[in-house]
Chains A and B, each alone.
Chain A
Amino acid sequence: MSAETTERTRRTARDRRTARRHGRPTLLGRGAVNALVGLSVLYTLLPVLWLLLASTKNRDALFRSDLFSSGDFSLARNLSDLFAMEGGIYGRWYVNSLLYAVLGAAIGAMVSVACGYAFDKYRFRHKEKLFGLVLAGVMVPPTVLALPLYLIASKTGLVNTFWSVFIPVLFNPFGVYLGRVFSQGYVPGEVLEAARVDGAGELTTYFRVALRMLGPGLVTVFLFQLTAIWNNFFLPMVMLSDQSLFPVSLGLYVWNSSAVVTPDYYPPVIAGSLLAVLPLIAAFVLLQRYWKSGLTAGSVK
């Protein structure tokens, strides 16, 4: 896995380019292939494009569904409406989401990668059994845990607080798995040996030397956890009743329920959705290299 795998992947990719010259599809076949892929790309892109266009429309234009008329461009208006709605609570939700997601993913990634590193570099009895427990955590979907978590939280008075959502989202067993894989790939044992010979402490070595090498892996874990927390819906829905603690996802859900009765809510829900999507799309486009390596590490044997 890991280092060799990545290297091998890179190599095979290069070699295959030459190999392909022999087995190239015919011109007709190529047309069909490109058409199919093009259709799929349209399928994935058009709804996002609709969101973009719809967020520039006022309510009436929205219901006329003439998205391409340039007559009434109300994006600015929609955005100012969005932030004025119900006393500007959307801004609050956005900040909450950022707090839950950025802070949660940062801490969660640190915790998971450190654990994964320890799994890779230290040996102790029953290590693999313990690791099996971690993997069991991957297999059990968090939605199943939400209800018992709620009951525990309400017994401890944590329910309907920031912590009731923040603490559970830190738990990222898959990050431990990735951390272990990355540690195998990126942190050679000799480096640690050298540090030990120099008399550096174990933790110092980790934070000064290993963590730097684990950087790309850390970013990958962070990015995936960021997405997961930003997407999180079930847990906040179970835990929170105070609207000022809501993340964007839950807030938009509540507004959407009003939109069904009061169509005035449609433009803010659409504009709010657009704003909520932007940071993640930006992160994924900018950090392409990292998440691809993360997916590869997880999937390639």
Chain B
Amino acid sequence: MSSTDSTAPVPGRPPGPARPAAAGPQTAHPPGASGAVPADRPGARTRRWARRRRLGACAALMGPFFVLLVAVFLVPVCAAVWLSFFSDDQPGLGFGPERTVFAGLRNFEAALTDPTFLSGLGTAALYCVVYIPLMVLCALALALLLDSGAVRLRRTAQLSLFLPHAVPGIIAAIIWLYLYTPGLSPVIDLLHHADVRVDFLGVRMVLPSIVNIAMWSNLGYNVVIFYAALQAVPREVTEAAVVDGAGPVRTALSVKVPLVRGSAVMVTMFTLIWSLQLFTEPMLLSQATPVVGSRYTPNMYIYDAAFTRNNYGLAAAASVVLLVVTIALSYGLSRWSNRTADTSEGDSGER
């Protein structure tokens, strides 16, 4: 979600894989029937022929996507795992001929004992801790404000908030980098007049500066998701609260917020996945400030390992570590949210 690199736009998506398939008229059929669609004409041969034709069509429609899935998803994932266990070894000083050997966990050990990789993970963790709650709270608050009925020009406001999402991540980073650069930035100028001196690219400010870029890029996007979820809250529920004498703030916090819990989990999850991939913004800032080193985040570490150090085994191992951390955290998050949802009765969802 953190803008830049996704080939999939990944707006909110329900956590469980099986869910979207549950609805729809087409699936109301006895389970286990291998074969195609409804149509029950008499005549077994015709039926078999029709089924075969349909399966052919199905394969033709799915084929291209699965070619891509294999070529640019499954094969690379397997390649990364494979590579992380192997190494082109050069014994001794390393000037002899190299041979590919099974390296076991050596690459993992190297990555996990590398202080720069660990500090990259630390940076990513710190970034998540600051960014994710801030993003979820701000986006939810803004969506509630928009939903409160008190806002003028709601559509325009929504569109304006969404606008930065149309700005490519690298360009968002460029804009903000220049707004952080003394001499170029009217912001720093203004602060200067107010006798406030901030080095946005200094050791202490650089992480908040990066968080700000990500906030700016993705805030409106998440507002739209929350807003859409709020719009779907049944009116009887809010009405009942109003009848009970709840003010707008209480209605929002105690009635509406629990009802958009599902969306909040999704927003959190995707923000988390993309936060761990942090790359574009720090990569750009690293051109301007030495405080952002070449291995500032795990993804920058991977890039550096592969393309500065030509150490593909190490880069692959770091990729696998990052992938495992990402999957573990998002799995844990969805498990946790399911468990708490089961115990709380306020959840609206048809799960």
Contacts and interface: CB of A to CB of B under 8 A. Distances in A.
Interface residues of A, number: 136
A121 B7 contact: no
Contacts of B175: 47-48, 50-51, 273
A12 B234 contact: yes
A132 B16 CA distance: 9
A198 to B, nearest CB: 12
A102 to B, nearest CB: 15
A284 B36 CA distance: 39
Contacts of A273: 171, 174-175
A253 to B, nearest CB: 6
Interface in B132-152: 142, 145-146, 148-152
Interface in B324-351: 326-327, 330, 348-350
B162 A284 contact: yes
Interface stretch (A71-79, A82-90, A141-149): A141-149
Contacts of B38: 189, 193
A111 B68 contact: yes
A128 B21 contact: yes
A219 interface: no
B286 to A, nearest CB: 9
- Residues of B in contact with A, size category: 35 or more
Contact of A37 (B12, B68, B157): B157
B287 A260 contact: yes
Contact of A44 (B12, B29, B53, B216): B216
Contact of A233 (B149, B150, B280): B280
Interface centre among B62, B170, B229, B239 (most CB of A within 10 A): B170
B183 A63 contact: yes
B167 A233 contact: no
Contacts of A234: 4-5, 279-280, 299, 303
Interface stretch (B88-96, B121-129, B184-192, B202-210): B184-192
A256 B286 CA distance: 11
Given A140-B323, A277-B168, A202 B8 contact: no
A206 B73 contact: no
B119 interface: no
Given A288-B159, A295-B224, A301-B232, A30 B150 contact: yes
Nearest to A143: B277
25 contacts: A13-B231, A23-B239, A24-B248, A30-B150, A45-B160, A48-B175, A50-B179, A108-B7, A122-B54, A133-B69, A141-B274, A142-B5, A147-B312, A147-B315, A170-B68, A176-B65, A189-B26, A202-B56, A203-B60, A224-B11, A231-B3, A280-B167, A280-B168, A295-B12, A300-B263
